[in-house]
């Protein structure tokens, strides 16, 4: 259809030519038409240099946001004798969606060990799993093939070279467990890499009586039957997802079980999982013991992000929140480090911990960068580019919303966020003084220069991100209650003072009118400067005069 339109519509053809030309221009400038392959002899020495690793460490720590710091829990004292490093993200690396594997990545566990003397005891404990691998696979001893012949353990697997179980299987075998990561491949050479399906059947024999979580962890489509009852039906394309139900199972009883799975294209992953909820949790018990025997506990938790991973809630997935609460209940000062690229809710546990550091996905030097912040060799100065709600029911929640003419509270909850846009704490303090806006009146095509004095009033060197917001009370179209128009990051030594200047011109003062034209309308403009969208330290007004 696009090609047909281009043949009859010159404007469409020109738009396509323009887009293609931009791509070809970039390839030409990169020299890809002369040499499309990388010269490894030149590329390898340019990667993973001291300079690039220093930049990665700097970028990681400058992006971090100190969200919460009760009773000056952070920075940690250099004299601390023992540290428990806990959590599913503590000794593994989350680099973010489509980020590759990194080179010599530094975990939080390793970063803390690098930062403390050899005499400091650092104890690592995973604490829990999370994500679509949060529940372990059903072990072979609990599974029986349909005919239960020969004392075999496992399930009968019928593998089809299509997604509809049509015809006869390409092959049949007994799988001791259903726990496969075929990645971009297939189960067998007899099956294509994409567009295949598998049906597992047999019996489930629980070893102990109790309440279980039982389900599937797969990409694409899955159905699960237990004793002939369909308990999970997710028969559509999707990314790897954990689905489970909770039910009571009796020890020694045979339950018929059937799992259907299809793989359309791309990544292939399938697992049949369960968890006995009455079991002691050795991972969590180990973490609690490590915290109880340490001077401080640092818990690294987070979320995985990627294509096809929409969330129905904003809580930390899996048992991570319970892990935080159990560790904090020991009475050991507790710091939570978050690995995530979007907001999470914390109402269930933030009151139990001393500090929360938002690390985002901090890169290959992330462990060292986080340790720099935890131990105070670097004072955090990052600010939130998003709003963190208290509960998912508040979403969407924006600082720059349109005025409603009424309050924004709920019947059972304040409308205020947990952490507002622009929020971020520091190990030092800053004073804002002497806001001035000369001239106080400008023409529609004029500019205004805003100045304010910022002073570090604390005892540590630190960064502050000075944020300038604008509000237009009266305009031809409704304007947001607040709009970020400029910001500047400054570094100040203790007692040091500087003047921050903002120049506001057409791009900052204009907006789209009813005709969708950028205009600067006459009227009063309110300028508000602060440390976040809700921490406004100074404000003033100026007037845009009519022509």
Provide DSSP, 289-322: HHHHTSSEEEEEEE----TT---S--SPSTTHHH
User: What are the tokens at 130?
Assistant: 């999370």
pLDDT at residue 500, as a whole number: 99
Close Cβ partners of 235 (under 8 Å, ≥ 6 residues apart): 221, 222, 223, 262
Residues of the chain with CATH 3.40.50.1700: 53-128+281-382
Strand partners, 222: 234, 261
Residues of the chain with CATH 2.60.40.10: 430-544
pLDDT above 90 coverage of the chain, percent: 78
Strand 334-339 to 296-302 pairing: parallel
Q: Rounded to whole angstroms, how far apart are CA atoms 279 and 150?
A: 31
Provide DSSP, 66-102: EEEEGGG--SPPTT--EEEEESTTSSS----TT----
Close Cβ partners of 264 (under 8 Å, ≥ 6 residues apart): 163, 194, 195, 220, 221, 237
φ and ψ at residue 447, rounded to 5 degrees: -125, 155
CA distances from 341 to 63, 251, 384, 393, 484 (A): 12, 43, 11, 20, 21
CA nearest neighbour of 543 among 485, 473, 486: 473
Q: Rounded to whole angstroms, how far apart are CA atoms 457 and 454?
A: 9
Cα 453 → chain centroid: 35
Strand partners, 455: 431, 497
DSSP state of 388: B
CATH 3.20.20.80 given to domain 134-276: no
Rg, Å, the chain Cα set? 29
pLDDT at residue 354, as a whole number: 98
Q: What is the pLDDT of residues 200-235, one digit of tens each?
A: 999 999 999 999 999 999 999 999 999 999 999 999
pTM score? 0.82
Close Cβ partners of 413 (under 8 Å, ≥ 6 residues apart): 390, 391, 393, 394
Q: Rounded to whole angstroms, how far apart are CA atoms 466 and 490?
A: 8
Q: What is the pLDDT of residues 48-61, one digit of tens each?
A: 899 999 999 999 99
* Residues 242 and 131: beta-carbon distance below 8 Å: yes
Q: What is the pLDDT of residues 28-81, one digit of tens each?
A: 998 999 888 888 888 888 888 999 999 999 999 999 999 999 999 999 998 899
pLDDT at residue 309, as a whole number: 65
CATH code, residues 430-544: 2.60.40.10
Query: Right CATH number for 53-128+281-382 from 1.10.3450.40, 3.40.50.1700, 3.40.50.150, 2.60.40.10?
Result: 3.40.50.1700
Confidence of residue 308 (pLDDT cuts 50, 70, 90): low
pLDDT at residue 239, as a whole number: 83
Residues of the chain with CATH 2.60.120.380: 134-276
């Amino acid at each position: 259809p696009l090609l047909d339109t281009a043949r009859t519509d010159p404007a469409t053809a020109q738009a396509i030519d323009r887009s293609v030309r931009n791509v070809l221009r970039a390839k030409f400038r990169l020299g890809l038409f002369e040499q499309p392959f990388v010269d490894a002899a030149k590329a390898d020495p340019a990667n993973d240099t001291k300079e690039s690793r220093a930049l990665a460490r700097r970028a990681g720590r400058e992006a971090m946001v100190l969200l919460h710091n009760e009773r000056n829990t952070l920075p940690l004292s250099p004299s601390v004798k023992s540290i428990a490093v806990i959590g599913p993200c503590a000794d593994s690396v989350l680099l973010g969606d489509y980020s590759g594997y990194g080179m010599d990545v530094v975990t939080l566990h390793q970063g803390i060990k690098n930062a403390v003397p050899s005499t400091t005891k650092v104890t690592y404990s995973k604490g829990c799993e999370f994500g679509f691998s949060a529940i372990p696979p059903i072990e072979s001893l609990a599974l029986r093939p349909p005919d239960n012949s020969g004392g075999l353990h496992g399930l009968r697997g019928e593998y089809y070279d299509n997604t509809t179980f049509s015809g006869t299987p390409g092959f049949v075998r007994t799988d001791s467990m259903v726990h496969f990561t075929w990645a971009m491949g297939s189960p067998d050479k007899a099956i294509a890499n994409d567009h295949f399906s598998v049906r597992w059947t047999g019996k489930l024999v629980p070893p102990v009586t109790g309440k279980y979580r039982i389900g599937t962890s797969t990409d694409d489509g899955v159905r699960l039957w237990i004793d002939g009852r369909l308990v999970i039906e997710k028969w559509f394309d999707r990314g790897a997802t954990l689905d489970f139900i909770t039910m009571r199972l009796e020890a020694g009883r045979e339950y018929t079980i059937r799992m259907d799975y299809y793989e359309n294209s791309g990544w292939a992953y399938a697992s049949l999982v369960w968890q006995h909820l009455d079991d002691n949790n050795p991972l969590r018990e180990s973490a609690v013991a490590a915290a109880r025997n340490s001077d401080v506990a640092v818990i690294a938790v987070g979320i995985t992000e990627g294509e096809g991973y929409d969330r129905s809630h904003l809580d930390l997935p899996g048992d991570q929140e319970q892990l935080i609460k159990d560790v904090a209940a020991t009475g050991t000062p507790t710091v939570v480090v978050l690995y995530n690229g979007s907001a999470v809710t914390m109402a269930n546990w933030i009151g139990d911990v001393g500090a929360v550091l938002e690390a985002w996905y901090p890169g290959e030097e992330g462990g060292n960068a986080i340790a720099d912040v935890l131990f105070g060799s670097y004072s955090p100065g990052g600010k939130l580019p998003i709003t963190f709600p208290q509960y998912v029911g508040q979403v969407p929640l924006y600082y720059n919303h349109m005025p409603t003419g009424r309050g924004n509270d709920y019947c059972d909850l304040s409308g205020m966020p947990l952490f507002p846009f622009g929020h971020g704490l520091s190990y030092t303090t800053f004073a804002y003084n002497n806001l001035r806006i000369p001239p106080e009146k400008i023409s529609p095509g004029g500019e205004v220069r805003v100045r304010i004095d910022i002073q570090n009033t604390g005892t540590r060197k630190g960064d502050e991100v000075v944020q300038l917001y604008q509000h237009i009370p009266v305009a031809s179209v409704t304007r947001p209650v607040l709009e970020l128009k400029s910001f500047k990051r400054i570094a100040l030594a203790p007692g040091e003072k500087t003047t921050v200047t903002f120049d506001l011109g057409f791009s900052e003062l204009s907006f789209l009118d009813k005709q969708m034209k950028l205009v600067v309308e006459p009227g009063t403009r309110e300028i508000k400067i602060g440390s976040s969208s809700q921490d406004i330290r100074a404000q003033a007004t100026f007037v845009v005069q009519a022509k």
